């Protein structure tokens, strides 16, 4: 079974600075997807960024980028120029690429609570 580990329960960053959130995962598969979701105080889950395992290039979305290290099974999220609105719980998630059965489900880490200090 796949597992996702977020080793940092809490992180803090100064406004306008850069912060990196860590995520590692365990899988025997070669094809899969990885995601970072953001959950602000409203508790609405919002997709931040996704990465296909077959792509060597790291995904970027504006101020958000990932460092995907497939061999190390590592998938960290970098937030540049942090803003107050970035304060939230961040979840790393894994999904297999194989179709059928329960393979559409997401396996989540336990989350990292990010605080942004003004």
Partner 1 sequence: DGGITQSPKYLFRKEGQNVTLSCEQNLNHDAMYWYRQDPGQGLRLIYYSQIVNDFQKGDIAEGYSVSREKKESFPLTVTSAQKNPTAFYLCASSRFTTYEQFFGPGTRLTVL
Tell me how long the chain is: 118
Question: Is residue 87 within the footprint of partner 1 (CB under 8 A)?
Answer: no
State how far the Cα of 24 lies from the Cα of 6, in Å rounded to an integer.
Answer: 7
Burial class, 67, CB count within 10 angstroms (exposed 0-12 / middle 13-18 / buried 19+)? middle
Beta bridge partners of 26: 3
Question: Is residue 111 within the footprint of partner 1 (CB under 8 A)?
Answer: yes
Give the tokens for residue 18: 């850069």
Looking at the Cβ atoms of 19 and 36, the one nearer to partner 1 is 36
Q: How far is the CB of 27 from partner 1 (least distance, A)?
A: 15
Question: Is residue 57 within the footprint of partner 1 (CB under 8 A)?
Answer: no
Question: Is residue 105 within the footprint of partner 1 (CB under 8 A)?
Answer: yes
Question: Is residue 104 within the footprint of partner 1 (CB under 8 A)?
Answer: yes
> Residue 84 phi/psi, 5° resolution?
-60, -35
Nearest Cα neighbor of 34 from 78, 91, 87, 116 is 91
Q: Which of 12, 14, 47, 69 binds partner 1 (CB under 8 A)?
A: 47
Q: Which of 25, 35, 68, 90 binds partner 1 (CB under 8 A)?
A: 35
Contacting residues toward partner 1, per CB under 8 A:
4, 9, 33, 35, 37, 42-47, 50, 91, 95, 97, 101-102, 104-106, 108-111
């Amino acid at each position: 079974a796949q597992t996702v580990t977020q080793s940092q329960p809490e992180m803090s960053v100064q406004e306008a600075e850069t912060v990196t959130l860590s995520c590692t995962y365990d899988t025997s598969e070669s094809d899969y997807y990885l995601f970072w979701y953001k959950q602000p105080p409203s508790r609405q889950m919002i997709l931040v960024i996704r990465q296909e395992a077959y792509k060597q290039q790291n995904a970027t979305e504006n101020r958000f980028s990932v460092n995907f290290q497939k061999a190390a099974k590592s998938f960290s999220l970098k937030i540049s120029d942090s803003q107050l609105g970035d304060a939230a719980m961040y979840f790393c998630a894994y999904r297999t690429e194989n179709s059928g059965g329960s393979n559409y489900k997401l396996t989540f880490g336990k989350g990292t609570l990010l605080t942004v200090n003004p």
